[in-house]
Amino acid sequence: MLLRHHTRTRALGTVALAPITALMILGAAHAEPQARAEPAPAPLPLSVQPSTQEHAPAPAPQPAVAPQAAPAPKKSREAPALVYAKMSEDPTPTLTPATFLATMRMADHYKALAEAGGWSQVPTGLSLKPGDRDPAVAALRGHLVMTGDLAANATHSDLYDETLVAAVKSFQARHGLPESGLVQRLTVAALNVPASVRQRQLAASAERLMGSKFPFGDRYVVVNIPSATVEAVENGAVARRYVAVVGKPDKATPSVETRVTDVNLNPTWTLPVSVIKNEIIPTMRKNPGYLAKNHIRMLGPGGVEVDSTTFDWSGEKAVNYTLRQDSGFDNSLGQVRIDMPNKFAVYMHDTPSKSLFAGNVRFHSHGCVRVGQVKEFAAWLLQGTEGPNGAGSAWGPIEIESGIATGEKRDIKLVKPVPVTFVYLTGYATPDGRAHFRDDIYGLDTPGTPAPSAATDVVTTGSITPRAVIKPARAGQPVPSTADLTPAAQPIARSRPAAAPAPKPEAVRQAPIARPTPRSAPREPDLLPPGLVGPRG
């Protein structure tokens, strides 16, 4: 056979090849089509790449190919990792049945401190870390002894030692500051607030508690507005403490006493008239597609939807229409709303703007209270309420997530309403004899300052018995003692400042509209900040 092949190749005038060379060429000729038939496998996405612990096999060598432009990365639907401001782990609630009297007694104590001359100021530029020596340490020690953070028999020196660091951490905890033990700008500012101001904070806060008929019970919720925190209290101790975002000074969160009755999954949001007038109308004149972009429907009489892009926005006729934002990732209320009927129409809710939960200063909403980890909070509220799978089931975080994933709006009624109160305590005392202070962000402790209220112009969603306004003690007037203060018959109610315009009633709520198809990933609203007051749709 080889002889015939050799003879034939010579007859064709070709150069004869060695047998082994011919076999190699034939083998390559047969292998080449097979290599072309199997394209190189595409690389796995990063999310499913095998880890080194799984000892993934090494990929087969691939033939060289011409470089190609990398495709643009797709936007992830996953929410970014959340960062929350550090919360105190102290199980002592801000508000208990004993808070009123304890705070008044503490006000008397601070009055005595102020009359005795108070404490010495520390240098405004003071900065201390453990092990430092500074002549100002003496003033720091004296202050902390007067406030009970440092034992009176502690060693006196100019060394910032471990005992003094622990006392500073105690001081920082009482003032809602990061418990770092470092003496820096915020701690120095708190140290230099005079004892007379602290006394006024305690007295004014106690006055705001006068006449309260709040039914504490075994389980209740406290939102201390100056602290921007939410406490879930159970059996006399804080079971959960959550970061909150509350009203900015010109859109103050009001004091409220009511009950949580429902948890709403995938809520819609009806825009208040003030937002339509002051924000929506000017925006639509410049950008007619704004409402559609933010999934806000415009409803006329009978709930009939109106095309907002062809509507005449030159006047203010839009205030007579209902503007409702569909549920979804970018809804201003987020994915969960905590329903608590009250005359101010404020409530607690989720938000797509979660970055604000990381800040130590959290006064950004229009009156409502945004709650960090609101789904966990909702699960706590729903304890004892029958879950989605009937008798014996419960509403835990997984069930709440599953309910949200359906995309359907759902109202879950608590089997037993949970009492909730929004309080404004810039100074208060706990049963352990410690005084706590927060910044007077709304200026309610300043003599002669009118009490602000949430800029709400919506219909009343519940009823709260109004209380007579009790003005804080003015400069030069004696501060009432514990014996002078007797509970009033009615609770305190906040009124709108005189300069504010009269509220307009919102259009009557219409029947719910059909929910649209799922939308894109969560994003920060362009104009409408979550936390605005207004009824749910």
- CB pairs under 8 A, 24+ apart, for 383-387? 383/219, 384/415, 384/416, 385/412, 385/413, 385/414, 385/415, 386/415
pLDDT of residue 142: 94
Q: 217-268+333-461 maps to which CATH number?
A: 2.40.440.10
Q: Which residues are catalytic?
A: 349, 368
C-alpha to C-alpha distances, 339 to 261, 272, 412, 461, nearest whole angstrom: 6, 17, 10, 10
Reported as a pLDDT band with limits 50, 70 and 90, residue 449 is low
**78 has a pLDDT exceeding 80:** no
Q: Are strands 237-247 and 369-371 parallel, antiparallel or unpaired?
A: antiparallel
- Least confident range from 28-37, 83-92, 402-411: namely 28-37
Q: What are phi and psi of 499, to 5 degrees?
A: -75, -15
Mean pLDDT of the chain: 76
Mean pLDDT of the region 312-339 = 90
Mean pLDDT of 56-70: 48
Mean pLDDT of the region 457-465: 32
- Torsion sign across C-alpha atoms 456, 459, 463, 469: positive
Query: Residues 5-44: pLDDT tens digits?
Result: 444 444 444 444 444 444 344 444 444 444 444 444 443 3
pLDDT cut 70: percent of the chain above it: 68
- Among left, alpha and beta (phi > 0; psi -120 to 50; other), residue 136 is alpha
Altogether, the residues listed in the chain come to a count of 537
Q: How far apart are CA 420 and CA 64, in angstroms?
A: 68
Say if residue 118's pLDDT is above 50: yes
Listed in sequence order, the residues at least 6 apart from 43 whose beta carbon sits closer than 8 Å to its beta carbon are: none
Mean pLDDT of 75-98: 77
Percent with pLDDT over 90 in the chain: 54
C-alpha to C-alpha distance for 338 and 371, rounded to whole angstroms: 10
Position 468 scores a pLDDT of 35
Amino acid identity of 454?
A
The C-alpha atoms of residue 534 and residue 267 are separated, in whole angstroms, by: 12
Task: Kindly give the residue spans of alpha helices, DSSP state H, lying in 116-154.
Answer: 137-146
Neighbours of 503 (CB within 10 A): 14
**Quick one: pLDDT band at residue 83, thresholds 50, 70, 90?**
confident
Cβ(234)–Cβ(218) below 8 Å: yes
Q: Above 90 in pLDDT, residue 155?
A: no
Q: What is the DSSP letter of 302?
A: G
**Of the listed ranges 262-266, 418-422, 510-514, the one predicted with least confidence:** 510-514
Backbone dihedral angles phi then psi of residue 187, each to the nearest 5 degrees: -65, -40
* 470 against 301, higher pLDDT: 301
Give the model confidence (pLDDT) of 189-236 as tens digits.
Answer: 999 999 999 999 999 999 999 989 999 999 999 999 999 999 999 999
Task: Read off the pLDDT band of 451 (50, 70, 90).
Answer: low
| pLDDT at residue number 512 | 38
- Whether 421 has a pLDDT exceeding 50, the answer reads yes
- Output the pLDDT for position 42: 40
More confident residue, 84 or 222: 222
Give the mean model confidence (pLDDT) for residues 289-295.
Answer: 92
Q: Within 13 Å of residue 385, how many CA atoms lie on the same side as its CB? A: 23
Q: Note the pLDDT of residue 72.
A: 55
pLDDT (tens digit per residue) in 103-113: 999 999 999 99
Q: Does domain 98-120+127-203 have CATH number 1.10.101.10?
A: yes
The answer on pLDDT for 298 being more than 70 is yes
Q: DSSP state, 371? A: E
Helical (H) or strand (E) element with 348: strand 348-349
Indicate the residue type of 245: V
CA-to-CA dists, residue 261 to 64, 341, 419, angstroms: 66, 8, 9
Of 450 and 103, more confident: 103
Q: What is the mean pLDDT of residues 340-366?
A: 89
CA angle 147, 148, 149 (to 5 degrees): 95
- Residue in the block written with tokens 């352990």: 432
